[in-house]
Amino acid sequence: MNAARLLFLIIVLSLTGGAVFAQTPALDAGVAPHINLTAAQKQTVYQSIRKTQKNNAAPIGFRATIGAIVPAAITLTPVPETLANLMPETKGLETGLVEGEVVLVDPKSKQVVAVIVDPDAGETR
C-alpha cells in the first residue's frame, strides 16, 4: 500500500509541476524586443548618432538585426538626453554605429531593439 501511495504522489506531483511550467511564460519566447519609430524619428536618430559616434566595424559573425546580441567589441553609449526627450521610447537605451548603421540596444540584455540605416540610402528595416 505504501508503494501505491508513493506512486500516486509521484504522478500527482509530476502532473502539477508540468502544469506550473506550462503556464510560466518563457523569457525569450522567440520574439525579439523592438521599438517602432517613424521615418522622421529614424532620420533624426541616424543623423544625431552618425555625427557623435565612432563607426564600429562589425565583429566576425555579427550582423545588426533586431534581437541580435551586441558583442562587447562594439562601443555603446546611452541615447543622448535630447533624443530621449524627443522620443521617450528611446529613453534608457544605448546606441552604437556599426558599419554605418545605427543600432539601438537594450542595456540589460544587450539585444538590438532597432536598426536604423542611412535614410538617404533608401534602405529600410
> In this predicted structure, what is the pLDDT of residue 43?
93
Domains in the chain, please, with CATH?
39-121 (3.10.450)
Report mean pLDDT in 10-residue bins for the chain, 125 residues: 55 47 38 80 93 91 94 94 93 95 95 90 56
> In this predicted structure, what is the pLDDT of residue 118?
86
Instruction: Report d(CA 100, CA 96) in Å as an integer.
Output: 10
Tell me the three cell numbers of residue 13.
506531483
Residue 38 vs residues 64, 72, 77, 116, 125: alpha-carbon distances, Å: 19, 29, 22, 11, 12
> In this predicted structure, what is the pLDDT of residue 85?
94
Helices (DSSP H) in 24-121: which residue ranges? 39-52, 81-86
